[in-house]
Chain A
């Protein structure tokens, strides 16, 4: 059991409910599922939990073609066939063609590891169900070599989802759950502060003001999130943009400078500019 509690790090701000969920998962050695908009720190969380608790981290990034089996191991039958045709001696030991997956690597870790299963919703609908057994019992069987692989230490499993697909109930029941609500201004100030300590207060204030305004624009394909805000602030600082330039009261300058860093999608930029334009017209009447 772990006695260390996760309370965030000096590069990651954790809210109280997030800490509670993480600590429950760490203590009970059950997976934790993290949901939230893209860019709200889901992936980063796993990295921070590993570093805060001093654990090795294993990352498994899921794509739409990822199969549950690949997390366990791959049997490279094709290579074996080839070797047999070429008369290679390796061919007689099937173990030569078993390639460990990320789950196996985590199971083999000497220290209790953190295992990140990133963006689980990218995979097929059945994917989470296919991992139930393995994550419950923390063991699996390798049919080719008749070997039972058991976790040396139950990993702390952090699973993230962008909510593209619903996850099966049986899977959900086994996890702790946390939804990262989009940070309010207060939390966001703290987040910016850990990334850019010593940022001018006025600049921070105006930047956040402008940022939340952009987020409120209806119909955006992709609302800018924490990561875009951080990129934008970096640019503002690099370009030495003064806080006054961000103030929206002056309607001629209502489009914040470098807004391309916030809106990455051309249509969104267009929509935004149109709205500002309309706004300006009505204000000037």
Chain B
């Protein structure tokens, strides 16, 4: 039972290790948990999940495990029209994953395969999990059949430059667990390190010591210096949702790489363009907004400002008051970005859209002008160039 649960967690996109599974087994053997499911829940969570942002995911999988998996799946597939599911897949899957689906014969083939497996499942009644995460091609496996990040309705959203999106989509919080590919980005980001000697002098300065000792007629004169630290400070503003869906993966990678690379890193989210407020937590984006003016007060001009966004929208969203797709903005985005740029002289915009397309999208041209040309493609080379211009 335990190993099955363990593999469900893995399939659900969590990363418990064998070490941790053994730890759980050992704790059970030692009688740490009583016989209640509650006890087992607490114990397995303490053993297997080391990051509270994964608790929610764990809870869902735990619930699915104990309530019977069929139910959970039926709720997802049984009563839901294909069209809706197709949209989910579009929204939830990365470009790569979509290519995989294409390779297995497109979305219809995938749904067919899922349905077959589901029937199999119902016939057999043994609660297997064949259909979950089959080789990573099932949207439900790859995403831990996690219905977060779902946009319901809104047919128009495929047309990229839709003017109003009133549907409130609960955006997925950027998950910084992406490992693959972050190394290159980390190395690029390293170039942004600026070492400074700060704090207590606790390092022997050998050269200076020898020098001073010689001057001191051979009597030791110890010289100490503070250790070097990375003193760079970064504000990272990430566009989320809408036309950025295609780029979520690369943004996640950037985000995950930056988190470990900088001691002073603050990140904020925005949607399409910058206005009077930003937010830090997507699940509470409507409740907990941070005024943009507060950000400029709180973080000094020594911070480097990095926007990440495709800058692809209707130009109204930039130049008009009330142009925002999801709220009424009193002042145009262009004014807000100017304010930010005057507060932070060192700023760049990283754009995941291919550079060739920039010319043809008016909003990108506009943004680039506002950025005084400091827009760079979100490729390793672009990142490199961008970071150079931040010095």
* Complexed CA–CA distance, A17 and B288 (Å): 28
Please pick, from A27, A35, A218, the residue contacting B32 in the complex, using a CB distance under 8 A. A27
State whether B43 touches A24 (Cβ < 8 A). yes
Segment at the A interface, from B17-25, B118-126, B138-146, B318-326: B17-25
Please pick, from A20, A35, A65, A175, the residue contacting B33 in the complex, using a CB distance under 8 A. A20
The contact string, 1 if C-beta is below 8 Å from chain B, for chain A 15-29, is 011001101100110
Please pick, from A27, A35, A176, the residue contacting B47 in the complex, using a CB distance under 8 A. A176
State whether A65 touches B46 (Cβ < 8 A). no
State whether B227 touches A219 (Cβ < 8 A). no
State whether B219 touches A218 (Cβ < 8 A). no
Name the residue on A nearest B263 (C-beta).
A165
Name the residue on B nearest A33 (C-beta).
B50
A200 part of interface (Cβ distance < 8 Å): no
A85 part of interface (Cβ distance < 8 Å): yes
A82 part of interface (Cβ distance < 8 Å): yes
Please pick, from B26, B260, B289, B298, the residue contacting A28 in the complex, using a CB distance under 8 A. B26
Number of residues of chain A lying within 8 A (CB) of chain B? 36
State whether B52 touches A20 (Cβ < 8 A). no
A172 part of interface (Cβ distance < 8 Å): yes
* Complexed CA–CA distance, A28 and B199 (Å): 39
Q: Which of A40-74 contact B (CB under 8 A)?
A: 64-65
- Contact residues in B for A218 (Cβ distance below 8 Å): 287-290
State whether B288 touches A219 (Cβ < 8 A). yes
A154 part of interface (Cβ distance < 8 Å): no
* Complexed CA–CA distance, A175 and B51 (Å): 12
- Contact residues in A for B45 (Cβ distance below 8 Å): 17, 177
State whether A82 touches B220 (Cβ < 8 A). yes
B259 part of interface (Cβ distance < 8 Å): yes
The contact string, 1 if C-beta is below 8 Å from chain A, for chain B 274-305, is 00000000000001111100100110000000
State whether B39 touches A173 (Cβ < 8 A). no
The contact string, 1 if C-beta is below 8 Å from chain A, for chain B 37-49, is 0110011011101
- Contact residues in B for A95 (Cβ distance below 8 Å): none
- Contact residues in B for A20 (Cβ distance below 8 Å): 32-33, 39, 42-43, 46
B187 to chain A, nearest CB (A): 15
State whether A28 touches B23 (Cβ < 8 A). yes
* Complexed CA–CA distance, A45 and B17 (Å): 27
State whether A267 touches B199 (Cβ < 8 A). no
* Complexed CA–CA distance, A253 and B111 (Å): 61
State whether B17 touches A219 (Cβ < 8 A). no
State whether A177 touches B290 (Cβ < 8 A). no
B5 to chain A, nearest CB (A): 17
Please pick, from A78, A173, A177, the residue contacting B204 in the complex, using a CB distance under 8 A. A78
A159 to chain B, nearest CB (A): 12
B63 part of interface (Cβ distance < 8 Å): no
* Complexed CA–CA distance, A169 and B259 (Å): 15
State whether B200 touches A173 (Cβ < 8 A). no
* Complexed CA–CA distance, A30 and B220 (Å): 46
Would you list 15 pairs from A and B whose C-beta atoms are within 8 A, ordered by A residue?
A17-B42, A20-B39, A20-B42, A64-B199, A65-B202, A82-B220, A125-B260, A177-B45, A177-B46, A218-B287, A219-B289, A219-B294, A267-B294, A267-B298, A271-B294
Report the 8 A-B pairs with minimum CB-CB distance, sorted nearest first. A20-B42, A179-B52, A172-B50, A21-B46, A17-B42, A218-B288, A177-B50, A24-B32
Chain B residues near A (Cβ < 8 Å): 15, 17, 19-20, 23, 26-27, 30, 32-33, 38-39, 42-43, 45-47, 49-52, 55, 199-200, 202, 204, 219-220, 222, 227, 229, 259-260, 263, 287-291, 294, 297-298
Task: Name 7 extra pairs, CB < 8 A, besides A64-B199, A85-B219.
Answer: A23-B32, A24-B46, A27-B32, A175-B50, A177-B46, A219-B291, A267-B298
